[in-house]
Structure 1
Amino acid sequence: MLTKQESILEFDFSRQAVLPDRLTRKTHSPYLPAVEQILGIYRDQVGRTRRELHTLVQRTMQELEDCSSVRMSAFCKLLDDASEFDQDRSGAAATLRRRVFTLAAAYHPLVHAPDHLFASSEAEVKQKIADQLGRSWPDIEAELFADVIEFHRLKTPPDASIDAAALLSRYNVAQTQTALYSAVELTVLAGRDFKTILRYAKLARLMHTISRQGNGYTLRFNGPASIVRETRRYGVAMARFLPGLLAADDWRMRAIVIGPLRRRFALQLSSRDGLRSEVAPSDFDSELEETFHRRWLESDTGDWQIARESTVLHSGQNVFMPDFTFRHPDHGEMLLEIIGFWTPEYLREKAQRLAQFSDHGRILLAVAEHADEAIPDLGLPRAVYKTKLLPKAVMGLLAAAHEASPNPSQTENSNEPG
């Protein structure tokens, strides 16, 4: 993502709207060939430092009439993010610097042209140091500041699948993300892609409430006071969520953003606005859930079949979608909600939501040990785990639930299987 320094936002005080910078083929047609050129720079200049690459990009883009230095910096950041650079993770550069500077100190001060006052020639001293270290000076110089980000050398350029149009699209999405850095509230009206949108929201660790709205759903994302005071932190989570939202269909979004003079401005988008994002689909909200699902499939779990977020529960206009659904040909359906690492405020909201839905379906809880005390006794079977949730623990819950209710009815008709 871009930083605040690379953000270009227009705040319309009359409409109380925030308008992120956006480049279109129709209005900004000269950008397409220019972006093709800067992609070529990265692909043709493997081994160059980040600083050298940025200089070449800026020289190319300054030919565009309306390309500000901030836009140039934004494109450099996007190109860097799409590339891989060599980094000195071993501390070799710092060790080399100490060695070189220690050797050079004996000849201080160094001058380009020696005279009767200063006899140490920079070129001669560099050669002496190179001889002592058994390396050429260009080789030493290339490694001397390899731990400084500006001097990281390009190892792998952007993938060939990224063309000029794709990079322009990434720019537009990234600028829209920067508007969300100062967001305190975000509402999404979702249609047929509701489950996909919710999954990406969970991946971004957004606190949310869901309600039914006609044939669709309203998802509201807004943190409690303690989080809203840290607007930037929660706004970044909203920004991380945006690419997933843009990859879905049939939605409208409205965010409230804090702008100049602490005024509130609205950012409005929909799936019809032309912004798109390529996001790899993710079936799980966390590594813990993914590992549990894999272990379940590898274990002997009898005839219990597992499905990811396939059941939606309704209570009036409120909605709840547990993490897993278990189905058995004889014992019916059970639902599992996993409660892991979250803030105290989120855990309180989660407890309230579970209490509201405790009579719907047959819900089981898997609660992280550190969060166990925050979830009161709701009359729901629970397993407490430390770092890993094992199928054996959930099988114990399923067996206990079956013994308590040997002839369970199927989940209510108000539930919607996915």
Structure 2
Amino acid sequence: MLPSDLLMHRFSGEELVPKRLKLDQSNLAIAQDLITLFQEAKGITKGELNRQLLELEGEETDYRIKRGLAHLLNSGFSTFETISPLEPPMLRERIFALSAQVAPSVQATQITLDHLADLLTQELGHEVLTDQIRSGLYADLPDNQILTEFEVPTSEALLHRYNLSQVQGVFYRASHLILNAHRNDPGQYKLLFRYVKLFQLMTYIEGDADHGFTLTVDGPTSLFKPSTRYGLAIAKLLPALLHVSKWSLTAELQVNDSYSGKTRTGRFALESECGLVSHYPPGKTYDSMLEAGFVERWQKAKTEWQLEREVDLIPIPGSVMIPDFRLVHPDGRTFLLEIVGYWRPEYLKKKFSQVRQAGRDDLILAISERLNLEKAGVNFNDTSARIVWFKDQLLPKAVLEVLE
């Protein structure tokens, strides 16, 4: 994402409009020049790379765009490392201790470096040169770190990332937002809710799978004190949302007006046909090896029951529960299966609270015997769900016994 000083937007009434770059020949050329510069910079310091970037910016008026694209290449595609024979603090300690034993001079400096190079060659088992010691002394300073890896994007991908980052920056100052996830594939809902939980967003969820869900998310400026970290968490949700096929959102913003110096209220709206492109990978097919192993064993089991993945969503007050599987029999019977594996006590309390609130008698809970439910304060008898216990693997036979 982009820092606040590289975000660009304008107001249309109260509507905030973030900067977006067209994927035209001019912008693609700018992106390609920057990508080429980074490709050729492998092996040089970050300080030297920044100097070259300033030269590329020149005196043209689009320097903020170039600086924003460079920031994304720096943070999202580049790996910088500290290259030194020893950890720089240890190396400095060694060289300062040796140099303190002789009077300072050019000759004494070279002798000290040669002496330490010999010592480190013997200690480390490979040749250490004096130039490596010189460059390694302060190699831990950001400007002295070396660009060792660069994941080369296409110029189109870089422009897509820039446009997404400009829109993400809108949410840094959101007081709250309302997200409508319209009727979608249940797996997409689960991916969305998983990211909401991952980024620890304060969210109230209403709705059902047939009509869609409304998520009300408190923004960073709605807290007692505005939180940049929370604003970043909301911004990180957007690339995940782009994997959901049908949605719309509105946000209220508290934006600092650069002209008046005052804070003004703004609004922002976005929908699934916005043209933004996510760099997040699609959701994993299974949440764990435990689930993947169960599916593999079920496919080999001799049964008429069909196993379906994430097809039911159970609305509960202020949230939603998404069982891992649905079991369907040719005669029309159906059951939902939720696997409770290896989780923290807080998760277990929440999970069993959801089960109680759901009040479903067609729900099967497969619970690992390794979980200390009593220690977590969970009473598994206080649910209407059917219970299946397992050790290291969940076997289809145990589930089928409950079904029949």
* TM-score relative to the length of structure 1: 0.71
Please say if residues 248 and 270 of structure 2, whose CA atoms lie closer than 8 Å, have aligned partners that are also in contact. yes
Provide the aligned length of Structure 1 versus Structure 2.
Answer: 374
Counterpart of 2:290, as a letter, is F
Q: Does residue 60 in structure 1 map to residue 34 in structure 2? A: no
Please say which of residues 184-193 and 150-159 is displaced more in the overlay.
184-193
Distance 1:342 1:172, change over 3 A: farther
Please say which of residues 186-195 and 127-136 is displaced more in the overlay.
186-195
Q: Does residue 378 in structure 1 map to residue 383 in structure 2? A: yes
Q: Does residue 277 in structure 1 map to residue 278 in structure 2? A: yes
Q: Does residue 127 in structure 1 map to residue 110 in structure 2? A: yes
**Partners in 1 of 2:359 and 2:165 — Cα distance?**
41
Q: Does residue 267 in structure 1 map to residue 268 in structure 2? A: yes
Q: Give, in angstroms, the shift of residue 167 of structure 1.
A: 0.6
Q: Does residue 199 in structure 1 map to residue 191 in structure 2? A: yes
Distance 1:108 1:291, change over 3 A: farther
Counterpart of 1:202, as a letter, is R
1:323-358 deviation digits (Å, cap 9, x = unpaired): 22234568943323356768969966x666544532
Please say if residues 257 and 264 of structure 1, whose CA atoms lie closer than 8 Å, have aligned partners that are also in contact. yes
Q: Give, in angstroms, the shift of residue 200 of structure 1.
A: 3.7
Counterpart of 2:130, as a letter, is W
Please say if residues 173 and 276 of structure 1, whose CA atoms lie closer than 8 Å, have aligned partners that are also in contact. yes
Match of 1:101 in 2: 96
Say which of 31, 38, 42 aligns to 2:38: 42
Say which of 78, 85, 90 aligns to 2:80: 85
Counterpart of 2:288, as a letter, is E
Q: Does residue 165 in structure 1 map to residue 169 in structure 2? A: no
Counterpart of 1:379, as a letter, is S
Please say if residues 172 and 275 of structure 1, whose CA atoms lie closer than 8 Å, have aligned partners that are also in contact. yes
**Partners in 1 of 2:387 and 2:86 — Cα distance?**
48
Percent identity between the two aligned chains: 22
Q: Does residue 309 in structure 1 map to residue 307 in structure 2? A: no
Distance 1:87 1:61, change over 3 A: same
Match of 1:180 in 2: 171
Q: Give, in angstroms, the shift of residue 43 of structure 1.
A: 0.8
Q: Give, in angstroms, the shift of residue 172 of structure 1.
A: 1.5
Q: Give, in angstroms, the shift of residue 32 of structure 1.
A: 2.8
Please say which of residues 139-148 and 314-323 is displaced more in the overlay.
314-323
Match of 1:115 in 2: none
Distance 1:390 1:237, change over 3 A: farther
Please say if residues 91 and 147 of structure 1, whose CA atoms lie closer than 8 Å, have aligned partners that are also in contact. no
Please say if residues 82 and 139 of structure 2, whose CA atoms lie closer than 8 Å, have aligned partners that are also in contact. yes
1:53-94 deviation digits (Å, cap 9, x = unpaired): 2221232124431323x8615622433421233346996333
Distance 1:90 1:25, change over 3 A: same
**Partners in 2 of 1:91 and 1:365 — Cα distance?**
51
Please say if residues 364 and 380 of structure 1, whose CA atoms lie closer than 8 Å, have aligned partners that are also in contact. yes
Distance 1:91 1:13, change over 3 A: farther
1:209-265 deviation digits (Å, cap 9, x = unpaired): 24149x75134053699x955854444333222112224433222234454477664
Distance 1:344 1:320, change over 3 A: closer
Please say which of residues 4-13 and 239-248 is displaced more in the overlay.
4-13
Counterpart of 1:95, as a letter, is M
**What secondary structure sits across from 2:140 in the alignment?**
coil
**Partners in 2 of 1:314 and 1:131 — Cα distance?**
71
Q: Could you tell me which runs of 5 or more consecutive residues in structure 2 were left unpaired when the two chains were aligned.
A: 119-127, 257-261
**Partners in 2 of 1:211 and 1:46 — Cα distance?**
51
Distance 1:361 1:6, change over 3 A: farther
**Partners in 1 of 2:80 and 2:28 — Cα distance?**
25
Q: Does residue 252 in structure 1 map to residue 255 in structure 2? A: no
Counterpart of 1:240, as a letter, is K
Please say if residues 80 and 149 of structure 2, whose CA atoms lie closer than 8 Å, have aligned partners that are also in contact. yes
* TM-score relative to the length of structure 2: 0.73
Q: Give, in angstroms, the shift of residue 316 of structure 1.
A: 12
**Partners in 2 of 1:231 and 1:364 — Cα distance?**
38
Please say if residues 50 and 150 of structure 1, whose CA atoms lie closer than 8 Å, have aligned partners that are also in contact. yes
Match of 1:391 in 2: 394
Say which of 132, 147, 155 aligns to 1:139: 132
Please say if residues 335 and 363 of structure 2, whose CA atoms lie closer than 8 Å, have aligned partners that are also in contact. yes
Q: Give, in angstroms, the shift of residue 35 of structure 1.
A: 1.9
